[in-house]
Amino acid sequence: MEKMKNTSMFDLSGKVAMVTGGNGGIGFGIATELANAGASVVIAARNTSKSESAVLKLTSMGATALSTELDATDENSVQSAINMTVSRFGKIDVLVNNAGTNIRKFPQEYSIDEWGKVLGTNLTSMFLCSREVHPHMAQGGGGKIINIGSMTSIFGIDWGAPYGASKGGVVQYTKSLAVAWAKDNIQANTILPGWIHTDLTSKIKTEHPERYSSITSRIPAGRWGEPPELGGTAVFLSSSASDYITGAVIPVDGGYASF
């Protein structure tokens, strides 16, 4: 009797994943778990030395990983990074649009340049990266696009109107991709991180401890999340286990959105 093969719907062996902004925080947490699941990972970000350090960590785990310089708001830079990835691996199976930024002010205090910077980094970058990866995925028989939104995709915030506007746009843009590219066997989904410990949020704890405590008390899980805790959802959405899921919005927030 032939022995049954040990296979898993979550196995990403042979898959190639690009993670924008993948050299730290949520991006690196996702990149690590994709690598643990067997994917070859491309770290695409502006800070090349930080990206090289991230790649060293991944390769020390036995993963196949490399970095490429990427300004996700620049069309030529996006094309160059994707072309490099395809040249090196022959394909891209998974794109994680994670690059993002925030400027914390009240709505009336933003300049037009600040508004443009936040929307460009958080939303326009997804358009550019997704558009450029589409022909490669379509010609290769399909792919997975994972866009990183935020709890502010569904909640208003007083100190980050451009951020909230951009992250709300992420959800609707993802749904448009899901509808348009289903015929190409490309699934597009959104992850909504809750309060996660990253460099972007670290100042809240140190400079605004009362706000930090107030936020924590509002989270049903009773704590903030850590970057690797986004990785399991990303692996699921990158794998064949999610082939019939597209246009979905999945909070990973310790229950914050349910409170």
**Mutual angle of helices 161-181 and 112-119, in 10-degree steps:** 40
One digit per residue, pLDDT tens: the chain, 259 residues? 444 454 689 999 999 999 999 999 999 999 999 999 999 999 999 999 999 999 999 999 999 999 999 999 999 999 999 999 999 999 999 999 999 999 999 999 999 999 999 999 999 999 999 999 999 999 999 999 999 999 999 999 888 999 999 999 999 999 999 999 999 999 999 999 999 998 878 888 888 899 899 999 999 999 999 999 999 999 999 999 999 999 999 999 999 998 7
State how far the Cα of 16 lies from the Cα of 33, in Å rounded to an integer.
13
Q: 111: how many CB neighbours lie within 10 A of its CB?
A: 10
Provide the 8-state DSSP code for 165.
Answer: H
State how far the Cα of 238 lies from the Cα of 229, in Å rounded to an integer.
15
pTM: 0.95
16-251 classified as CATH 3.40.50.720: yes
Question: Which one of 163, 173, 212, 256 is the catalytic residue?
Answer: 163
Is residue 57 within 8 Å of 29, Cβ to Cβ? no
The verdict on whether 244 is a catalytic residue reads: no
List the chain domain ranges. Answer: 16-251
How would you label 2-34 residue by residue, b for 16+ Cβ within 10 Å and e otherwise?
Answer: eeeeeeeeebbeebbbbbbbbbbbbbbbbbbbb
